[in-house]
């Protein structure tokens, strides 16, 4: 087991090394739609790349989720074959969002041996999400 401070240092070391190995300006929060963001997640249980739809207005959140859902066949066949779409994805703090994501299980941010594989997984899958976004962002926005 790692202490909180040791875990924090490992997380910082991972994300710093990821940024150095993949020095790219990812879209992340810069989608031009405030309710939609792309996220990297890596913790003690899994690594995940996601498109999150988060709004206090349930109608807006449902609207954007339906847009993504309508593109699911294309998303799976051309970009991310193992994607999962969940209209109600519960975050650790209990908040419910809509999320489209790919996930690698059985890896831990506390195990540096997992890092090379996870870095590659995160970068490759975020690139696919971004390619999808560039192709369909106008449809999703309108």
CATH code for the domain in which residue 65 is found: 3.30.1460
Q: What is the pLDDT along the chain (142 residues), one digit of tens a residue?
A: 678 888 899 999 999 999 999 999 999 999 999 999 999 999 999 999 999 999 999 999 999 999 999 999 999 999 999 999 999 999 999 999 999 999 999 999 999 999 999 999 999 999 999 999 999 999 999 8
pLDDT score for 123: 98
pLDDT score for 52: 98
CB 52 within 8 A of CB 39: yes
pLDDT score for 93: 92
pLDDT score for 4: 83
Pull the structure tokens for residue 115. 């890092």
pLDDT score for 5: 84
Q: What is the pTM of this model?
A: 0.92
Q: Which of helix, strand or coil describes residue 57? A: coil
Mean per-residue pLDDT of the chain: 95
CB 136 within 8 A of CB 87: no
Separation in Å, CA 88 to CA 6, 26, 94: 33, 25, 11
Residue with tokens 């209990």: 94
Q: Which residues span the domain enclosing 114?
A: 4-141
pLDDT score for 142: 84
- Residue 114 CA to residue 119 CA, distance in Å, equals 9
pLDDT score for 9: 92
- Residue 6 CA to residue 106 CA, distance in Å, equals 21
Side-chain half-sphere exposure of 120, counting CA atoms within 13 A:
4
Total count of domains within the chain: 1
- Supply the Cα-derived Rg of the chain in whole angstroms: 16
CB 27 within 8 A of CB 131: no
pLDDT score for 3: 81
């Amino acid at each position: 087991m790692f202490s909180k401070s040791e875990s924090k240092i490992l997380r910082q070391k991972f994300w710093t090394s990821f940024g150095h190995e993949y020095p790219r300006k990812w879209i992340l929060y810069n989608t031009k739609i405030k309710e939609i963001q792309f996220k990297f997640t890596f913790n003690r249980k899994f690594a995940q790349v996601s498109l999150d739809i988060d709004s206090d207005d349930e109608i807006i959140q449902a609207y954007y989720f339906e847009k993504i859902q309508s593109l699911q066949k294309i998303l799976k066949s051309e970009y991310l074959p193992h994607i999962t779409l969940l209209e109600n994805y519960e975050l650790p703090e209990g908040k419910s969002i809509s999320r489209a994501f790919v996930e690698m299980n059985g890896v831990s941010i506390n195990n540096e041996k997992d890092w090379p594989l996870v870095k590659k997984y995160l970068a490759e899958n975020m690139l696919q999400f971004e390619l999808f976004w560039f192709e369909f962002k106008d449809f999703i926005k309108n």
